[in-house]
Structure 1
Amino acid sequence: MSLLNPDSWTLFQAISVFSLCALVIAVAGTRITRVVDQLADRTGIGEAAAGAVLLGASTSIGGSVLSVTAAWNGHAELAVSNALGGIAVQTFFLALADMAYRKANLEHAAASVPNMMQNGLLISLLGFILLAPFTPEFTVWGIHPITPLLFGFYIYGIRLVRGSQEEPMWTAVSTSDTLEDVPDDTRKMPSLPQLWMEFTLLFLVLGITGWLLEPSATTIAAEAGISHTVIGVLLTAVCTSIPELVTSIAAVRRGALTLAVGGIIGGNAFDTLFTAASDVAYRDGSIYHQMSDDALFWVSLTMVMSGVLMMGLIRRERQGLARIGLESVSILVLYAAGVAILVSGA
């Protein structure tokens, strides 16, 4: 059957598969947020850590599989642009989540030292990726030295995030608008093994959809004559980031503000590993040295957006323009300007 052979897909078939995967990602991603929130309470690891590791990794698995599959198939530009575009659009989604929380600026209400530590980790990891193309094109077994450095620094950073929660050296001032992480009644939740089983199942579903997205995205790019960078940044990155949008807004509406912010920032830090994993899968040398100017532009833009978010987390403005924080307005403008520049140059 032609549907079982991606090489024979028409543009309509590719768009159909892509749309179906996007729907599955939205549904599974929404459900997995509630499971992670319950796991955070059941295990006692807290919403910030759960958002950084469990929610960040699970909602990002589709994009990770897509980038690795694209790199394995030799589509370096799609692999990198999907990873980097996802980080930018998820930061943009955090600004949308701020709009959904009307009581106060989301970054004020979800004040958390671990969230700020995660954001610092994200900026550092992006810095390594931005630095990589300017280093010698040297690889060991086809892997650039920056790749193990990214993995190692991520693990070290997650340890710092956990440590900042268990033994904080300073705390954010609590105000009437600050919403603390209050665990739910675990007696009304499913058992811990049941939660882990559901989490694993949803994790696998999101991974499979990411694998199916790669051939459909490649076909759309070829049939429609669109560059892999545009497809990666504006199509696959947005599609695989749908869980972050749905889950962050759902978490905000349920009052799990720390989980909402931690899920986005933690997911962004995890997404930097897409590039590292793609370098391992890419067999034609260093994938960092295949990064186009557009890809480098998105790394730089994302670092600026993350820096603005960091300042917002520290400043903690209660109300700003349009009843959201000034940093959220800035992020919206920066992302819109980035998309306009990318499209105009395509």
Structure 2
Amino acid sequence: MSALPLWALIGLFVVAAVVVWFAGIQLSKTTDVLDTRFHLGSALGGLIVLAVATNLPELAITVSAAISGNISVAVGNILGGIALQTVVLVVLDRFGKRGKDVKPLTYRAASLTLVVEALVVVAVLTVVVAGSQLPSDLTFARLTPGVVLIAVVWLVGLLLVRRSGSHLPWHEDGRAPDSSPHPQGHRRRKPAHHQEHQKHSTGRTVLVFAVAALLTLGAGVVLERTGDAAASQVGLDGVLFGATVLALATSLPEISTGLQSIRQGDDNLAVSDIFGGNAFLPVLFLVAALLSGKAVLPQANSSDIYLTAIAMLLTLVYTTGLIFRPQRRVLGMGVDSLAVLVLYALGVVGLVGIS
């Protein structure tokens, strides 16, 4: 890839991003149908499958970077991706619903279950910071305690989210008054694409899902290889590239499906998808460690830890918004979304300074 001219690398990167966008939409549609037919949403295993499906671009980039030994791109994409995917909520808040009387996203989607999901994200990222301080030779079977604990915390978090979705010892079962009427993680009114795909056989739906997954994986590899080569040619730091351009490209499916969920009235699901994906992404460090044979977390540099802190801060801002439910909108978005946008912009400026 490095031998190609810059214009060719940029062209391939754009094409791969377009493939990720449309393949991600098909993954979302078919996953929704398969969830209904196989009752995946009612089992812990189903949640794991859905988390992997919606983060296939990041999985492909992590696998490609780990095999090629380019750990910095994998780490930067994962940690930068969490921060940027949190900013996706700003896009959903600003463009999901419009109107003079429309309340901010965190007002409509207020739920203690979403608060639990956000706290799981913070807990997983806390383990990332702690694991980065362990010695690199503390390994067993190519794994370090940090990556194993991340997976354990994620699984425990899933159990807590499942439990909070079925029963909480709070008034209205953890849902705020005047919030979105949809139960957490499930649609009452299926969107149009769900009815369309329900007409197809299960075999055809699985085939579409498999093809979309393969396209996403292939496009993810192209994104990582062409993006890394282009960044090297223009002198862009690998961590900065992974945290911004590459993370934005892999977040395109979340933007598309999130806007679609909100326009269908499923505000809770749009927020839940972002928090759920962010909690899952650090689990990919375990995959990177197995493939590369290296202790990934101890190799995290100051930029990586900085990105982790930014992701935690942005998540906590939205957690506060879910609890206090601000009704005021500024520039067409909630005050919490505006705060997240400003903090992320300042964070990128700081990242440039560090890099």
TM-score (norm 1): 0.89
Residue 330 to residue 187, structure 1, CA distance change in 2 (3 Å):
closer
**Greater shift in the superposed pair: 176-185 or 246-255:** 176-185
Match of 1:340 in 2: 349
- The partner residue of 1:179 within 181, 200, 204 is 181
Q: Kindly provide the CA deviation profile for residues 196-226 of structure 1, in whole angstroms up to 9, marking residues without a partner as x.
A: 4433332222122112222112211222222
Does the 8 A contact of 1:51 with 1:264 survive in 2? no
Does the 8 A contact of 1:51 with 1:262 survive in 2? no
1:111 aligns with 2:110: yes
The secondary structure found in structure 1 opposite 2:236 is: coil
Number of positions where the alignment pairs a residue of Structure 1 with one of Structure 2: 340
Q: CA deviation at 1:117?
A: 2.0
The secondary structure found in structure 2 opposite 1:8 is: coil
Determine what percentage of the aligned residue pairs are the same residue. 27
Alignment of 1:298-313 (within 5 A): 298-313=307-322
- AA partner of residue 348 (structure 2): V
Does the 8 A contact of 1:51 with 1:259 survive in 2? no
Cα separation, 2, equivalents of 1:142 and 1:43: 35
Cα separation, 2, equivalents of 1:51 and 1:310: 25
Q: CA deviation at 1:7?
A: 5.0
Match of 1:36 in 2: 31
Q: CA deviation at 1:71?
A: 2.0
Alignment of 1:197-346 (within 5 A): 197-283=207-293, 285-346=294-355
Match of 2:63 in 1: 68
Cα separation, 2, equivalents of 1:336 and 1:195: 40
- AA partner of residue 18 (structure 1): F
Match of 2:150 in 1: 150
- The partner residue of 2:4 within 1, 9, 13 is 9
Does the 8 A contact of 2:317 with 2:336 survive in 1? yes
Residue 112 to residue 176, structure 1, CA distance change in 2 (3 Å):
closer
Cα separation, 2, equivalents of 1:198 and 1:169: 41
Q: CA deviation at 1:173?
A: 4.3
TM-score (norm 2): 0.86
Q: Kindly provide the CA deviation profile for residues 165-199 of structure 1, in whole angstroms up to 9, marking residues without a partner as x.
A: 12333323443453324243987633555444433
1:132 aligns with 2:138: no
**Greater shift in the superposed pair: 235-244 or 204-213:** 204-213
Where does the alignment leave 5 or more consecutive residues of structure 1 unmatched? 1-5
- The partner residue of 1:19 within 14, 21, 44 is 14
Residue 274 to residue 76, structure 1, CA distance change in 2 (3 Å):
same
Q: Kindly provide the CA deviation profile for residues 252-291 of structure 1, in whole angstroms up to 9, marking residues without a partner as x.
A: 11222222111111111111112232222223x3111221
Instruction: Output the aligned Cα RMSD.
Output: 2.6
Where does the alignment leave 5 or more consecutive residues of structure 2 unmatched? none
Match of 2:87 in 1: 92
Q: CA deviation at 1:55?
A: 5.1
Residue 279 to residue 345, structure 1, CA distance change in 2 (3 Å):
same
- AA partner of residue 338 (structure 2): V
